[in-house]
């Protein structure tokens, strides 16, 4: 009993002895309130700031933003393309139903018409869902561009931070001298100049950059950005079966007076259209008159200026907008030794004297145009071959029906028929040889 009491007393005493130094140690660790640094930036710190601006962290973030913009553009294209294809199928079903209604029994015709009506209703429902989804994609695209602009402003501010701190320090020193001269005339001692917190200067500079960006109009923010232009082009191409025949709306019409995006709708839609905003409203007679302006069809070469072959992996320069085959322009910039990094644009007349591989991007929009041109060429060749075969059969039939003894006038007509058939056969052979050679001559192609 007494032993347990002694052990308890010794335990409590030892516990108090252990607690006392801990309390004293805690008192010694009490720190004064934090004060931001007010000393000038050292050269080593300036070097670290520059390395941070050009480091891999920012490069990774910038690449992710660029990849997001590319994916958003391709997604908008696929969403609109899906609706376009469904509209085409529904229109074909409606046409077939109309033919069956005239040529079939009443029951079969009514059933086909009902099926076509259900298909049209499904397409209209899909269009509403697609428009809502595409609107969200467009908003996400502008947010990605805002993040890119913020990143560029922050990098620019960090590079100029030492200069901004020195400038602010000079302003504080001049103000302190003026205050001292006003209080004590003729004082010989220099005034005490308080330091300038670097963090405060950085925050003020970033806030000023953000305010400057917010003051820009939506046109200046997005419509002049190459990524947003490509996004709008992808959006436009998904709306039509033959988008090259319908011009892209002018960038000045992409936003209304209130800064809201005016999303392009199909020209044959009852609501919206080229000049409709996301609410389907028009903005006045002035913009309605712009709808009457006929814009010429865009002409662009599908051949690489270096390899002179149809581009299979187009690589477009952000600076001058000239496109090349990726392997050809890579070899051109790297040079014979494979170590080159900068080169002049090889297109004659281009003023871009320095461009690197970082200035290029895979042009998915141009690649889709090339594929559409190839498909159109194949279809046109097939139609032309069928027409030439039909013309040949007509020529033979007319020759037989003409008979003999028609006189000199009939002989002239026969010679005309034979000459026309010969020209058709020659054209057919030329197109066959061109198709075998893999040459694509589209209406959009001009000399580079």
Query: Can you spell out the DSSP letters for 104-133?
Result: S-HHHHHHHHHHHHHHHHHHHHHHHHHHHH
Residue 148: give the domain boundaries: 45-220
pLDDT of residue 396: 57
CA distances from 160 to 52, 196, 228, 294 (A): 13, 15, 29, 48
Q: How far apart (Å, rounded) are the C-alpha atoms in residues 272 and 333? A: 46
Q: How many CA atoms lie within 13 A of 244 on its CB side?
A: 17
The helix/strand/coil state of 335 is coil
User: Please, what are the averages of pLDDT over each run of 10 residues along the chain (448 residues)?
Assistant: 48 51 56 68 72 73 88 89 84 77 61 76 84 90 93 87 82 73 60 71 90 92 89 86 78 88 69 43 43 43 88 88 91 86 89 88 82 80 73 56 48 46 52 48 41
Q: How many domains does the chain have?
A: 1
280 in a structural domain: no
In the β-sheet with 314-317, what is the strand arrangement from edge to edge?
323-325, 314-317, 360-362
201 in a structural domain: yes
287 in a structural domain: no
Q: Where are the alpha helices (DSSP H) in 254-335?
A: 285-290, 326-334
211 in a structural domain: yes
179 in a structural domain: yes
Q: How far apart (Å, rounded) are the C-alpha atoms in residues 388 and 390? A: 5
Q: Do the beta carbons of residue 381 and residue 435 sit within 8 Å?
A: yes
181 in a structural domain: yes
Q: Do the beta carbons of residue 317 and residue 360 sit within 8 Å?
A: yes
Q: Do the beta carbons of residue 285 and residue 157 sit within 8 Å?
A: no
Q: How far apart (Å, rounded) are the C-alpha atoms in residues 420 and 68? A: 56
The helix/strand/coil state of 360 is strand
pLDDT of residue 321: 83
Q: Do the beta carbons of residue 420 and residue 395 sit within 8 Å?
A: yes
The residues near 145 (Cβ < 8 Å, ≥ 6 apart) are: 69, 221, 222, 225, 227, 228
Residue 45 burial (10 A CB sphere; 0-12, 13-18, 19+)? middle
203 in a structural domain: yes
Q: Do the beta carbons of residue 249 and residue 274 sit within 8 Å?
A: yes
pLDDT of residue 390: 62
């Amino acid at each position: 009993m007494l032993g347990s009491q002694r052990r308890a007393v010794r335990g409590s005493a030892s516990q108090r002895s252990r607690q006392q130094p801990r309390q004293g140690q805690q008192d010694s660790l009490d720190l004064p309130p934090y004060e931001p640094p007010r000393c000038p930036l050292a050269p080593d710190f300036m070097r670290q700031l520059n390395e941070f601006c050009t480091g891999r962290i920012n490069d990774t973030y910038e690449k992710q933003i660029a990849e997001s913009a590319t994916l958003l553009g391709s997604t908008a294209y696929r969403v609109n393309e899906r609706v376009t294809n469904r509209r085409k199928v529904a229109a074909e079903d409606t046409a077939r139903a109309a033919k069956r209604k005239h040529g079939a029994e009443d029951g079969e015709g009514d059933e086909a018409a009902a099926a076509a009506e259900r298909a049209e209703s499904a397409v209209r429902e899909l269009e509403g869902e697609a428009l809502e989804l595409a609107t969200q994609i467009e908003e996400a695209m502008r947010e990605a561009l805002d993040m890119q602009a913020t990143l560029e402003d922050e990098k620019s501010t960090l590079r100029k931070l030492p200069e901004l701190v020195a400038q602010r320090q000079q302003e504080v020193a001049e103000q302190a001298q003026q205050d001292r001269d006003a209080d004590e005339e003729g004082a010989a001692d220099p005034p005490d100049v308080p330091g300038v917190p670097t963090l405060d200067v950085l925050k003020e500079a970033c806030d000023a950059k953000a305010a400057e960006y917010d003051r820009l109009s939506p046109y200046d923010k997005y419509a002049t950005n190459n990524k947003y232009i490509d996004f709008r082009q992808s959006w436009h191409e998904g709306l039509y079966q033959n988008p090259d025949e319908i011009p892209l709306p002018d960038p000045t019409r992409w936003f209304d007076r209130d800064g809201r995006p005016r999303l392009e709708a199909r020209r044959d839609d009852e609501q919206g259209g080229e000049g409709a905003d996301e609410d389907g409203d028009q903005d006045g007679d002035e913009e309605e008159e712009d709808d009457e302006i006929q814009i010429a069809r865009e002409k662009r070469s599908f051949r690489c200026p270096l390899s002179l072959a149809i581009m299979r992996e187009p690589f477009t320069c952000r600076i001058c907008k000239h496109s090349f085959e990726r392997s050809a322009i890579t070899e051109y910039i790297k040079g014979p030794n494979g170590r080159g990094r900068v080169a002049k644009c090889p297109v004659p007349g281009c003023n871009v004297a320095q461009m690197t591989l970082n200035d290029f991007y895979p042009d998915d929009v141009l690649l889709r145009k090339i594929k559409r041109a190839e498909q159109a060429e194949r279809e046109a060749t097939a139609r032309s071959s069928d027409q030439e075969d039909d013309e040949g059969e007509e020529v033979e039939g007319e020759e037989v029906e003409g008979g003999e003894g028609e006189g000199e006038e009939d002989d002239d007509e026969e010679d005309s028929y034979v000459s026309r058939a010969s020209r058709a056969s020659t054209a057919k052979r030329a197109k066959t040889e061109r198709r075998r050679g893999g040459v694509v001559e589209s209406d959009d192609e001009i000399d580079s």
